[in-house]
Structure 1
Amino acid sequence: MLCQALRRFGKKMVRKHPLELPVAETAPARSLSTLDLVVLGVGNTLGVSVYILAGEVARDQSGPSLMICILVAGLTSVLAGLCYGEISARIPHSGSAYLYSYVTVGELWAFISGWFLIITTFAHMGLSLVTKTLTLVKVLVLGFVIISGFLKGDLHNWKLTEDDYIKAGLNDTSSMGLLGSGGFVPFGFQGILRGSVTCVFAFTGFNIIVTRVELAQNPKCSIPKSIMISLFICFLVHFGVSAALTLMVPYYQLQPGSTLPEAFLHIGWVPAYHFVSFGFFCSLFTKVFGNMFPIRQQVYMMAKDGLLFPVLARIQTGTYMPILATMIIFIVATIMTFFLGFTDLLELRSVGALLVFTLLAFIVLILRNEAQVQEENEGNEADVQEENRPAAESLTLQTLFFPGNPTPTALSGWVVSVCSSLLALLLTLLCLVLARWPVLLSGDPVWITVVVLLLLLITGITGVIWRQPQSSSPIHFKVPGLPLLPLLSIFLNIYLMMQMTAGTWALLARSLKPTSLRAKTIDLELSRASTYLV
């Protein structure tokens, strides 16, 4: 009896959601070009974070090496963008990591990724002239900041010493931050890692592009292209703003909670302060009036699928909006803003984004080696179950490294799924050990042996995945260098997450309490209207 209950519960955790083709009468018009999607991605990513994040990270975590933090965070986001690009090309349906998880790896991971997206998604809707105008204003203002920083900045601020710190303390009556060791990297390698985690938040807005797949003119081509172009533009802007800020103001003189316009007050350029403040308020305007739509849509989708309380999916007559879900989101967001500090909110959103990025890389490994593309399986659940049964083929050591079929089979897909799960576990253990890198540098033979063994296991399992046949489906974009790039993405994401403070993990654990509640009540739910793939 208990075994049957556990088996039934396990099936519910891994069941998949079928993709539904849009009905011709209700399908939205495909009107968005690649340029429209790029504007949407850039406008959503370059939000208020670019005006506040740089000063917060430079003061306490990285100093002038903030540019390196932006580079690491940008690399992490680019790898995630590559994964988003291939998944959106294979599954051309409007959604997010929640939908991609639901149709590939099952209900449990869909709930987790959806909950993380609710925490981390603060995006704005808008494809109107107003949005394009505000995006142009923000880019122009930030371009002015970059040029001004190089004109009015001082390279000496990248090589500050203790004498400069003492002199600044005599002339500055406001509170100053820590000096650290001075120079370009005042807080060491650890400071760069901590700053990189926080800077991931600066790139989390690009995922709004995948929510517009069904509006794109050529989604299989334009979605991956617009993601990469948006990330490249945002990286250049963030990198330039970071350099300009640290050139204009010594990092220890940046005030807690100060915004980018205040840097111009430090150099006595008041007109520029007002001009940059205008760009800041443009960003604030687009966020305040637009950030409710994607979160509300995410909650509605999860409630409709039964992963959140069904009452959150109720549509108000006349407005056609989930009013109750909107009100609850607004209340929760207000409470979080009131009780949590700015740094806590940044880290909470960053760790949620990193977890979603990790799941995306895992999904790419699964999709590339699946026996049959998910969207081709619609409406034939029995055939899918029969085909995906690995018992039909024999598993030997030879088939691991020399599979007999040139195309993916049920067995090869099962092997990749198991190996990918093992790699995720081994990479987590490796990152836990590498988090003690000062001990490794001391030459402790025990830790060095552990690292070597983990690297050997990771290399061997990676070789198994590499030898498995991959899908030859003709799509416009594929992640290059599979399985190395997805595994590099998983490693970077997990290693950066290891730099989070215990307080951030406690906040994240507290936010995931509804998971246990849903697990306790899932067996009591009535059958749903939609069908699922077991």
Structure 2
Amino acid sequence: MPEGHPSSIIRRLPPSEATNRWTGGARHGLPKAYRPADLVVMGVGVMIGAGIFSLAGRQAATMAGPGVVLSFMIAGITSLLVAFCFAELSSALPSSGSAYTFAYVIFGEVWAWAVGWALVMELLLASAVVSRVWSLYASQLLTDLGVRLPAPLAAITGQAEGFDLFTLFILVILTAVVTLGARIGLRALRIIVVAKLLAIGAVIVVGAMHFDQRNLSAIPVPATPAESTAGTLDSPLLGILFGQTGAFGWFGIFAASAVITFAYIGFDVVATAAEESEDASGSVPKGIIRSLVVTTVIYIAVALVMVGMTSYEKINSEAPLANAFREAGEGFMVHIINLGAVLGLTTVVLVLLVGLTRVMFSMARDGLVPSRLARINKRYRSPTRVTLLIGVLAILLAEFVPVLTLEPLVVIGTLFVFVSVAAGVLRMRQTMPDLPRGFRVPLSPVVPIASIVACLWLLVNLQVVTWLYFIAWMALGVLVYLLYGRRNSALAAGEQPVDPLAPGLRGRHRR
């Protein structure tokens, strides 16, 4: 470390550098592409997917019963509290790095790396998981329509594990779409979001015709530890601490709400589009909050319809919503559901890839990952190198790792980031009170503190094995940072401009 240069423990990215990137070297800015309405479409596109078509039924059948509606409310309220925090920070620091950049400015480089590393795990694993689920639904749609693939192809499509042709197909196609630039992806996103909302509307309307209130009153008795078949590592951390490892009851409802947080993942991705948005300080907060409110209402409506149509004891956890309509004698709705799932999951993967591209692009501009990944292709006006790298990594992960068993890792990574963002609001109010903001969290510090408490509560409801995997991932991240990021950081090279908010800093540090 050169003399007089701040150590990586305390060096922070100046706010002006986070919002006014200079050109030159490996640093570039992204072109404007998103209008205010586009951000709402992006949020709805990434959030409405697996939560409706599989997650709700699976948690109702195995963990919460009809209390799954409360689980969605708990997860939704928690997400809304955090969304207010994301809205304030993104209005003050509109950058493609989202929570990673917030942490860099507020807490410093080490914590920024931890948040960025967690975001990489969250978004990359989520892309792989949802791609696998997309393949399962696409195969089921073809089967229900009577389309039979040749035996060699049928053996490698719609597989939960091992090589899967449909998973490869969707990731290759969507990686290509993201590579071609934000505007191409946005056009496709608008069309698909409208189509899947129509399918979901049909599910709610037709399902409401078969609603039976008695199914909501059948509250299951909590399972005792003796009745639970789960091992210690597969049990919620909170359940072990309180001697309760069974499902259902309030423990089941809270455990389900922690898993269901997976369904709300995506509103934070809207913040990664800030650098490419018109009037980002105002449009991004509105896009985050509006898309989350719309999604929460839709989720609760569909969950109510599903548990109201059939008893939780009869819900098939493999294809819960489709089987609920089959039992109600509405077989034609199965095709609508499968089509809606395919469309919905397509937009989820698309936006996840966009979000991860922007996070890694920002990390590359800061030198924490190879800076050549931040090069923007002049023809497509997008960071094609990092996009292609992410596409390859997502394909390898989805094809060679049993990602469907790792879904809770996405949740723990997300909640970790949420806690960081909520804490960032509290810290920035103290250290940068005069920094312009287009949105302020209401009732601060109550809302940020409530966000942290709610996220921590959901975190302790995750399985012990999930915690162990997450600790291992973060330990690997520390090693990568020490070996590469700390030495190659742009701030370590003294490449930051003078920050007008820090009058004590003059000139640039040099090696």
**Normalising by the residue count of structure 1, what TM-score does the alignment of the two structures yield?**
0.68
In structure 2, the residue matched to 1:263 is: 324
Instruction: For residue 227 of structure 1, report the CA deviation from its aligned partner.
Output: 1.4
Output the amino acid matched with 2:120: I
Overall identity of the aligned pairs, in %:
27
For residues 123-138 of structure 1, the aligned pairs below 5 Å read 128-138=186-196
Contact 2:54 2:319 in 1 (8 A): yes
For residues 395-406 of structure 1, the aligned pairs below 5 Å read none
Bigger RCO (CA 8 Å, 6+ sep): 2
In structure 2, the residue matched to 1:386 is: none
Question: Per-residue CA shift, 1:403-458, capped at 9, x if unaligned?
Answer: xxxxxxxxxxxxxxxxxxxxxxxxxxxxxxxxxxxxxxxxxxxxxxxxxxxxxxxx
- Cα pair distance change 1:215/1:331, threshold 3 Å: closer
Output the amino acid matched with 2:451: S
SS in 2 for 1:261: helix
- Cα pair distance change 1:528/1:10, threshold 3 Å: closer
In structure 2, the residue matched to 1:149 is: 207
Distance in 2, Cα, partners of 1:249 & 1:326:
44
Match of 1:508 among 466, 470, 488: 470
Question: Per-residue CA shift, 1:179-227, capped at 9, x if unaligned?
Answer: xxxxxx9811110111111111111111222222233332222221221
Using the TM superposition, name which of 58-67 and 207-216 deviates more.
207-216
- Find out whether 1:307 has 2:309 as its counterpart: no
Question: Per-residue CA shift, 1:316-369, capped at 9, x if unaligned?
Answer: 898775547734653456436754463x43311111111111001111011112
Distance in 2, Cα, partners of 1:302 & 1:114:
8
- Find out whether 1:330 has 2:392 as its counterpart: yes
Contact 1:365 1:483 in 2 (8 A): yes
Output the amino acid matched with 1:187: F
Distance in 2, Cα, partners of 1:9 & 1:336:
42
Structure 1: gaps spanning 5 or more residues: 163-184, 374-470
SS in 1 for 2:209: helix
- Find out whether 1:15 has 2:11 as its counterpart: yes
Contact 2:422 2:449 in 1 (8 A): yes
Count of aligned pairs? 409
For residues 23-34 of structure 1, the aligned pairs below 5 Å read 30=32, 32-34=34-36
Using the TM superposition, name which of 505-514 and 8-17 deviates more.
8-17
- Find out whether 1:530 has 2:495 as its counterpart: yes
Question: Per-residue CA shift, 1:263-318, capped at 9, x if unaligned?
Answer: 32232211111122211111233344554332233233324423235575577898
Distance in 1, Cα, partners of 2:81 & 2:420:
12
SS in 1 for 2:461: coil
In structure 1, the residue matched to 2:168 is: none
Distance in 2, Cα, partners of 1:326 & 1:29:
19
Output the amino acid matched with 1:475: R
Instruction: For residue 479 of structure 1, report the CA deviation from its aligned partner.
Output: 0.9
Contact 2:75 2:260 in 1 (8 A): yes
Distance in 2, Cα, partners of 1:318 & 1:477:
35
- Cα pair distance change 1:40/1:482, threshold 3 Å: same
**Normalising by the residue count of structure 2, what TM-score does the alignment of the two structures yield?**
0.71
Distance in 1, Cα, partners of 2:251 & 2:421:
27
SS in 1 for 2:462: coil
Instruction: For residue 101 of structure 1, report the CA deviation from its aligned partner.
Output: 0.7
Match of 2:482 among 519, 522, 529: 519
Match of 2:198 among 127, 140, 144: 140
- Find out whether 1:475 has 2:437 as its counterpart: yes
SS in 1 for 2:7: helix
Using the TM superposition, name which of 295-304 and 523-532 deviates more.
523-532
Instruction: For residue 481 of structure 1, report the CA deviation from its aligned partner.
Output: 1.6
- Cα pair distance change 1:322/1:28, threshold 3 Å: closer
Using the TM superposition, name which of 252-261 and 497-506 deviates more.
252-261
- Cα pair distance change 1:361/1:287, threshold 3 Å: closer
In structure 2, the residue matched to 1:173 is: none
Match of 1:73 among 53, 72, 75: 75
For residues 110-121 of structure 1, the aligned pairs below 5 Å read 110-121=112-123
Match of 1:243 among 293, 296, 304: 304
In structure 2, the residue matched to 1:494 is: 456
Output the amino acid matched with 1:531: Q
For residues 417-436 of structure 1, the aligned pairs below 5 Å read none
Distance in 2, Cα, partners of 1:528 & 1:481:
40
In structure 1, the residue matched to 2:145 is: none
Distance in 2, Cα, partners of 1:348 & 1:109:
19
In structure 2, the residue matched to 1:200 is: 261
Distance in 1, Cα, partners of 2:341 & 2:257:
23
Contact 1:58 1:66 in 2 (8 A): yes
Structure 2: gaps spanning 5 or more residues: 128-173, 221-245, 500-504, 506-511
Instruction: For residue 28 of structure 1, report the CA deviation from its aligned partner.
Output: 6.0
- Cα pair distance change 1:29/1:349, threshold 3 Å: closer
Question: Per-residue CA shift, 1:508-527, capped at 9, x if unaligned?
Answer: 12222132242255665585
